[in-house]
Amino acid sequence: MVSVAKYLSTPGRTTRLLSALCLLTVFSLHAESRLRSPWDSHSVKLTDAPYTCHAVVSLSPDLTTSGFYADSKSSIIDPEKWKAYTASSGPYKDLGNRVVDAADAYQTTGSRAAVDCVLQHMEAAAKGGVFTGKMSSNQAYYVQGWVIGAVAIAYLKVRGSGLVSSDKQQIILPWIEKVVAQSQDYFEAHRKNSAGDAQNNHLYWAGVEVAAAGIAANNRKLFDWGMETYRAGIAEIQADGSLPQEMRRGQRALHYHLYALAPLVYLAEFGEENGLHSYAERDYAIRKLATLCVQGLEDNSFFVKATGIPQDTPSGPPAAEQISWARIYLARFPDQQLAKLLDQAKSMSYMYLGGLPPGNLAELK
């Protein structure tokens, strides 16, 4: 480090004093530049609350699984393909579920045992190189991204507990970075080839995965890559709030608009936590998308007219997959219609988004 005393002990002290102050400012900014997550502002008091941890399961570094749709629009599920997909991807998704459930138990009860459970599963997966091998298909890459994204968010939820030792960090974080690097390579290659999944919701989900990993590892390059996918998604939003890539999904157009909105809201929140005015991109274009999605949940006629096909619409209360993003969004943009829908939801926990969203629901109304 440059010695301030040396600057002040030689001629030209005023100039050197100013230079020293500038250097100190730079060092100070660098020291404060750790990437932040929405969970960093939520203080959790450690407790001895019990937590039953599922046994660690050994998983292969490779994932062999396939897609499950029967049509070219990826809108009609083939029952046999779905059965095969759930069987092959299930153990990997179970890893995500166990990690986020334990992380949320810590967030809601302060349980030391829950943090220990999170770290047990993460450390075992890291040592086993889970997801670092061969991904057999596009769908395998999607599962890889959803689960490692959930793991990265779970890490963000427990890192402030004081129970994550430097030894465990050195095992877990390089593993997370290695896995998300595969996702980056996959999507970068597909973007060069103008492949559809590099221009639609899958890219935004990859963005959440990579940005969360970047925050966890304080890796600015990963974070910036994730936020670039956010800007790509916002650029897709039309004047009426629709997304052309998701409108092509036939009877699941409404479903996939909601599915695209969720990661975009999380990315916007990641950006805001780190000094970016993400929600304001393109004159708050994300609000147009959110408004269209909320209206679609209550009246899907816009999507029916746009696609010419009856829509898959939730029967009964919206699921966490469709509405948990609103818990974050309402804190920024109060909306009675959306708050009413959120009230109807029976669960807020969605593994792909790392379990429960940040914030206290009572504070958002």
Q: What is the pLDDT of residues 6-56, one digit of tens each?
A: 433 444 544 444 444 443 433 333 445 899 999 998 889 999 999 999 999
Tens-place pLDDT, residues 100-155: 999 999 999 999 999 999 999 999 999 999 999 999 999 999 999 999 999 999 99
Lowest mean per-residue pLDDT among 28-32, 88-92, 227-231: 28-32
pTM for the full predicted model: 0.89
Domains, the chain, with CATH or none: 34-364 (1.50.10.100)
- How far, in Å, CA of 45 to CA of 361, rounded? 19
Burial of 226-255, coded b for 16+ CB within 10 Å and e otherwise, reads: bbebbeebbebbeeebbbebbbbbbbbbbb
Average pLDDT score over the chain = 90
Q: Any idea which residue has 């890459």 for tokens?
A: 141
The predicted model gives 199-224 an average pLDDT of: 97
What pLDDT is recorded for position 159? Answer: 97
- How far, in Å, CA of 191 to CA of 116, rounded? 39
Q: Is the separation of the CB atoms in 198 and 191 below 8 Å?
A: yes
What pLDDT is recorded for position 279? Answer: 98
